[in-house]
Amino acid sequence: MDNTTHADKRARLNKTDQYRIGLEIEGIFVPPYKIMAQTHTERAEHLACSLASYHNSKTHEDSTIARMRVQPGFGDPVNSPDDESNDYTLWDIKLESTILPISATECGLEIVSPILSFDDSGAWRTHVSTVFDLFNEQCRIKPNENCGFHVHLSLADRVWQLDELKQICIAILHFDQAFIGLLPARRRKSRYCKSNYHNSAMKKLTPDER
């Protein structure tokens, strides 16, 4: 029998040193030089290799900063690794072909972080700022309305319990419109940013049932 009280569970969940995060950041990367390549994939892979090499050369003496790689199978959906084979101890650079339109001098890329500890030290910010400071030394980064960003959140030392997942789901639905309100107007109609009430199970419910 579990004698843990609801107060104990809330206190346990409030300890931020028990959390981990993973970031996926999309952007348009514009190098200061022309890349001689025939396709966007070739151009993006050339820039990705250059950025990863520069990052690794600048951080090789700092063991706290994860190394960076160009994801295997870059631009090849058939040979690219699935989620089970990804190495989440590294920064990954991936082709992001959904970022359109872009010019012949621009590259659509997605940056995937390693698993980062989300604790009171805030050290994860150093990892992220180091990566993008080095990127900014090599190219210009800008967004457009198709660029996305999201955060994965997990517990560091255990799995979510069913009652916790239920409470998270309730909170997500409760604050659904607040989340939508945080989005730029141009993103609110994106199929990647739809309200949770648009799914087939929820959209049939009346406001009272929700």
Asked if residue 4 is part of any domain, the answer here is no
- In the chain, the number of structural domains is 2
Domain termination site, one of 120, 136, 155: 155
Q: Looking at the structure, tell me whether residues 94 and 144 fall in a common domain.
A: yes
pLDDT higher than 80, residue 30? yes
Q: Which domain does 108 fall in, by range? A: 16-155
Q: Looking at the structure, tell me whether residues 99 and 137 fall in a common domain.
A: yes
Q: Looking at the structure, tell me whether residues 44 and 124 fall in a common domain.
A: yes
Q: Looking at the structure, tell me whether residues 135 and 202 fall in a common domain.
A: no
Confidence band for 51, pLDDT divided at 50, 70 and 90: very high
Q: Looking at the structure, tell me whether residues 164 and 111 fall in a common domain.
A: no
Q: Looking at the structure, tell me whether residues 48 and 125 fall in a common domain.
A: yes
pLDDT for position 16: 46
Q: pLDDT digit string (tens) for 91-131?
A: 999 999 888 778 888 999 999 999 999 988 889 999 999 99
Asked if residue 103 is part of any domain, the answer here is yes
Which segment of 6-20, 31-45, 130-144, 188-202 scores lowest on mean pLDDT?
6-20
Q: Looking at the structure, tell me whether residues 83 and 175 fall in a common domain.
A: no
Asked if residue 27 is part of any domain, the answer here is yes
Phi-psi region at 122: left, alpha or beta (left = phi > 0; alpha = psi -120 to 50):
left
Domain termination site, one of 155, 180, 201: 155
Contacts of 95 (CB under 8 A, 6+ apart): 41, 44, 45, 48, 74, 75, 108, 109, 110
Which segment of 94-108, 162-176, 178-192 scores lowest on mean pLDDT?
178-192
Asked if residue 72 is part of any domain, the answer here is yes
pLDDT for position 115: 95
Length of the chain: 210
Of 81 and 68, more confident: 68
Q: Looking at the structure, tell me whether residues 36 and 116 fall in a common domain.
A: yes
Q: Looking at the structure, tell me whether residues 187 and 95 fall in a common domain.
A: no
Asked if residue 199 is part of any domain, the answer here is yes
pLDDT higher than 80, residue 10? no
Q: Looking at the structure, tell me whether residues 90 and 55 fall in a common domain.
A: yes
Q: Looking at the structure, tell me whether residues 182 and 149 fall in a common domain.
A: no
Q: Where are the alpha helices (DSSP H) in the chain?
A: 6-13, 40-59, 123-138, 162-174, 176-182
pLDDT higher than 80, residue 148? yes
Tell me what the pLDDT averaged over the chain comes to: 85
Confidence band for 11, pLDDT divided at 50, 70 and 90: very low
Q: Is pTM beyond 0.85 here?
A: no
Asked if residue 5 is part of any domain, the answer here is no
Q: Looking at the structure, tell me whether residues 118 and 164 fall in a common domain.
A: no
